[in-house]
């Protein structure tokens, strides 16, 4: 066999050198004419096909369900099962490697990852793939820049300032150190006075108001640049047996980096962002924290953190961000007498990179809101826009009077969406079903949601119309052509896969009165209620995780290039493994849509 076999393509990239030699010794090259059936239903495969040139279509009955191009392999599952369950037809002249069945069996026995990626279900493939990109998150954070960590503000006093004045500064600014400047030197010298030096001052027995801090200052100041790596800054502290370093660029002092903050950053970067949000006293500070959230997402993803965990971290931080912004903008009585809620992907805890605003405000019945409520709500929507959340094109924001209502009016509106369905009302209902309270009285949201459940399960026609939105983007189909790079269109993963999964699960949740908003939690409750097969629920969860991860990767690449963030996938940028996983995920979506059509009798609409 020629040495041209592509061992960089999945699943062959998992093979050891000796296993690669086995492949080279066990393959032949086959030729198939256009239209020729390579494998038929029920036939017994004797080899694994790996395409060199040409395209092959896979059919279930008369329906084409997948298409394969160069470096793709088939039919691994048929090889293991002993017979093929699909028909594989050459769309054009095809050249393919034929890897002998015995060699495939030996590779599977010797290499679990190879076997999982070759023929297992989506969950097993994701597990095997995850091991490859599970670079240690701690390593990724060690490589972060110092100015991405929690650099504390520097407080500078003159060398002749007395110790009592410095202690007052400690108490006022909640700090344990100050920088001391000696202007008598040329250029002026900087040192540091800490609580350790304060102990020495107390033990000296002299009146503290008569001791100048310059006498007890450590003038051997250790500094790092803001562009230095966090890991290097920590190593500097260890090497010099100190607990903090000054962050400076030339003569400009930017702040102080504490060892405890570095440890916190390395163990849980999201915690530091949360602390910054809680301590914020203005919208400008919150805008800085919002930018850090986006940075954290990229760092966590590159560090191998699972996308669902990242989404949960983002939901928690965004909830704190929105709550703190609302507290800074709205008077206290309004905050306590209302419920600020987020909806859509934010409400489900499945938002990663920033998308349009989807929020609302429920007011307590009988509460008289301030006369400038409209202005307050406009300011809040404007603050979110500063944080990077563009206004909702459909104006589903609390700055829109239709989305800030007393609880009774909100409940009546939701019931009208349910009982008098129209395309707009069903869309509003879908968005509201994902609502999550982030500030104020969460019981107000619970009360409005409870008013919905008593009506939902008794309206089969409404449920069917609601569920029918799974086909909202059905015209976009034939995704396998784009996976093979045919056509200029990028692949919109939200339309092709994420939305059908999310809305299909949401429809079943409405039918079974499942109160959870996260898709994975809804799936678990639906299985418990026997509203969904456990195997399909597991496949849907795996597919959603993969689709979200690919969408996030594409969005981060767009951010890095300075492009508008769409999350659409460039098929040419997908690896063979990613393409294989995506085919499986979209196959799960197709199977789920068939289940939904039968469950809600959508073909009768």
Range of the domain at 512: 466-604
Cis omega before residue 75 (within 30°)?
yes
Q: What is the pLDDT of residue 31?
A: 92
Q: Kindly state whether residues 315 and 420 are assigned to the same domain.
A: yes
- Per-residue pLDDT tens over the stretch 549-593: 999 988 888 888 888 888 788 877 777 778 878 888 888 898 899
Q: Kindly state whether residues 193 and 331 are assigned to the same domain.
A: no
Q: Report helix, strand or coil for 254.
A: strand
Angle separating helix axes 101-110 and 112-119, nearest 10 degrees: 120
**Stretch 85-100: mean pLDDT, rounded?**
91
Total domains present in the chain: 4
The answer to the question of residue 397 being in a domain is yes
Per the rule left: phi > 0, alpha: psi between -120 and 50, beta: everything else, 42 is left
Q: Kindly state whether residues 176 and 208 are assigned to the same domain.
A: yes
The answer to the question of residue 7 being in a domain is no
Q: How does residue 133 score in pLDDT terms, banded at 50, 70 and 90?
A: very low
Q: Kindly state whether residues 482 and 428 are assigned to the same domain.
A: no
Q: What is the pLDDT of residue 137?
A: 44
Which of 56, 85, 120 lies at the terminal end of a domain, its last residue?
120
C-beta separation of 102 from 26 below 8 A: yes
Task: Residue 234: give its domain's CATH number.
Answer: 3.10.580.10
Q: Which is more confidently placed, 407 or 119?
A: 407
Does 478 score more than 80 pLDDT? no
Q: Kindly state whether residues 408 and 301 are assigned to the same domain.
A: yes
C-beta separation of 585 from 542 below 8 A: yes
Does 409 score more than 60 pLDDT? yes
Average pLDDT along the chain: 84
The answer to the question of residue 115 being in a domain is yes
Tally the C-alpha atoms within 13 A of residue 577's C-alpha that lie toward its C-beta.
22
The answer to the question of residue 133 being in a domain is no
C-beta separation of 246 from 256 below 8 A: yes
Q: Report helix, strand or coil for 20.
A: helix
Q: Kindly state whether residues 286 and 391 are assigned to the same domain.
A: yes
Angle separating helix axes 534-561 and 283-302, nearest 10 degrees: 110
Q: What is the pLDDT of residue 104?
A: 86
Per the rule left: phi > 0, alpha: psi between -120 and 50, beta: everything else, 349 is left
Q: Kindly state whether residues 341 and 450 are assigned to the same domain.
A: yes
Q: How does residue 486 score in pLDDT terms, banded at 50, 70 and 90?
A: low
The answer to the question of residue 461 being in a domain is no
Q: Kindly state whether residues 341 and 383 are assigned to the same domain.
A: yes
Does 340 score more than 80 pLDDT? yes
- Per-residue pLDDT tens over the stretch 224-234: 999 888 777 87
Q: How does residue 532 score in pLDDT terms, banded at 50, 70 and 90?
A: very high
On the 0-12 / 13-18 / 19+ scale of CB atoms within 10 A, 260 is: exposed
**Stretch 537-558: mean pLDDT, rounded?**
90
The answer to the question of residue 431 being in a domain is yes
Q: Kindly state whether residues 451 and 540 are assigned to the same domain.
A: no
- 3-state SS of 390-418 is CCCCCCCCCCCHHHEEEHHHHHHHHHHHH
* Ranges 41-50, 380-389, 455-464, 508-517: which has the least confidence: 455-464
Task: Residue 430: give its domain's CATH number.
Answer: 3.30.460.10
C-beta separation of 67 from 112 below 8 A: no
Q: Kindly state whether residues 95 and 244 are assigned to the same domain.
A: no
C-beta separation of 530 from 523 below 8 A: no
Q: Kindly state whether residues 179 and 93 are assigned to the same domain.
A: no
What is d(CA 500, CA 515) in angstroms, rounded to the nearest whole number? 19
Task: Residue 38: give its domain's CATH number.
Answer: 2.60.120.10
The answer to the question of residue 352 being in a domain is yes
Q: Kindly state whether residues 363 and 277 are assigned to the same domain.
A: yes
The answer to the question of residue 228 being in a domain is yes
* Ranges 137-146, 335-344, 372-381: which has the least confidence: 137-146
Q: What is the pLDDT of residue 248?
A: 92
Q: What is the pLDDT of residue 1?
A: 46
Which of 456, 485, 501 lies at the terminal end of a domain, its last residue?
456
* Ranges 153-167, 329-343, 430-444, 469-483: which has the least confidence: 469-483
**Stretch 436-450: mean pLDDT, rounded?**
92
Does 134 score more than 50 pLDDT? no
- Per-residue pLDDT tens over the stretch 360-403: 999 999 999 999 999 999 999 999 999 999 898 889 999 999 99
Which of 219, 244, 267 lies at the terminal end of a domain, its last residue?
267
Q: For the whole model, what pTM was predicted?
A: 0.66
Task: Residue 514: give its domain's CATH number.
Answer: 1.20.120
What is d(CA 85, CA 564) in angstroms, rounded to the nearest whole number? 43
């Amino acid at each position: 066999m020629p040495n041209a076999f592509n061992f960089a393509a999945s699943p062959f990239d998992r093979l050891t050198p000796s296993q690669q030699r086995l492949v080279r010794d066990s393959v032949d090259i086959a030729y198939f004419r256009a239209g020729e059936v390579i494998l038929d239903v029920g036939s017994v495969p004797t080899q694994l096909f790996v395409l060199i040139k040409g395209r092959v279509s896979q059919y279930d009955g008369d329906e084409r369900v997948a298409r394969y191009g160069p470096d793709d392999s088939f039919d691994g599952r048929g090889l293991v099962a002993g017979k093929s369950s699909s028909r594989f037809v050459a769309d054009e002249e095809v050249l393919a490697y034929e890897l002998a069945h015995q060699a495939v069996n030996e590779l599977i026995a010797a290499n679990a990852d190879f076997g999982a990626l070759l023929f297992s279900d989506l969950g097993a493939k994701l597990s095997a793939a995850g091991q490859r990109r599970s670079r240690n998150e701690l390593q990724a954070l060690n490589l972060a820049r110092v100015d991405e960590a929690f650099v504390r503000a520097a407080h500078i006093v003159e060398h002749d300032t007395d110790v009592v004045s410095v202690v007052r500064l400690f108490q006022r600014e909640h700090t344990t150190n100050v920088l001391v400047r000696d202007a008598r030197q040329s250029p002026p010298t900087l040192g540091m006075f800490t609580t350790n030096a304060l102990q020495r001052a107390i033990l000296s027995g002299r009146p503290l108001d008569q001791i100048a801090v310059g006498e007890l200052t450590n003038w051997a100041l250790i500094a790092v640049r803001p562009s230095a790596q966090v890991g290097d800054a920590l190593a500097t502290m260890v090497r010099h047996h100190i607990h903090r370093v000054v962050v400076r660029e030339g003569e400009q002092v930017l702040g102080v980096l504490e060892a405890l903050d570095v440890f916190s950053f390395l163990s849980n970067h999201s915690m530091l962002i949360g602390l910054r949000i809680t301590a914020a006293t203005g919208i400008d500070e919150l805008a800085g924290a919002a930018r850090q959230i986006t940075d954290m997402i990229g760092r966590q993803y590159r560090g191998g953190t699972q996308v669902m965990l990242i989404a949960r971290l983002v939901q928690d931080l965004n909830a704190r961000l929105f709550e703190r912004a609302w507290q800074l903008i709205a008077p206290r009585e309004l905050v306590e007498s209302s419920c600020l809620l987020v909806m859509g992907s934010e409400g489900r805890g499945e938002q990663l990179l920033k998308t349009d605003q989807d929020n609302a405000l429920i007011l307590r019945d009988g509460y008289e809101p301030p006369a400038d409520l409209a202005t307050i709500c406009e300011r809040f929507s404007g603050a979110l826009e500063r944080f990077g959340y563009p206004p909702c094109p459909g104006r589903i924001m609390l700055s829109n009077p239709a989305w800030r209502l007393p609880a009774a009016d909100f409940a009546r509106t939701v019931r009208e969406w349910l009982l008098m369905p129209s395309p707009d009302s069903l869309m509003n209902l879908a968005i509201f079903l994902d609502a999550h309270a982030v500030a104020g009285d969460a019981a107000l949201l619970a009360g409005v949601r409870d008013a919905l459940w008593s009506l939902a399960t008794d309206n089969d026609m409404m449920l069917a119309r609601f569920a029918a939105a799974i086909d909202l983007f059905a015209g976009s189909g034939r995704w396998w052509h784009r996976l093979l790079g045919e056509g200029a269109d990028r692949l919109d993963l939200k339309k092709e896969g994420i939305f059908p999964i999310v809305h299909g699960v949401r429809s079943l949740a409405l039918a079974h009165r499942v109160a959870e908003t996260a898709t994975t939690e809804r799936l678990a409750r639906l299985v418990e209620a026997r509203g969904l097969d456990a195997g399909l629920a597991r496949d849907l969860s795996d597919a959603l995780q993969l689709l979200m991860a690919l969408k996030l990767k594409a969005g981060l690449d767009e951010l890095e290039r300075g492009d508008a963030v769409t999350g659409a996938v460039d098929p040419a940028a997908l690896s063979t493994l990613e393409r294989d996983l995506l085919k499986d995920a979209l196959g799960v979506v197709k199977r789920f849509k068939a289940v939904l059509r039968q469950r809600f009798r959508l073909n009768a609409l």
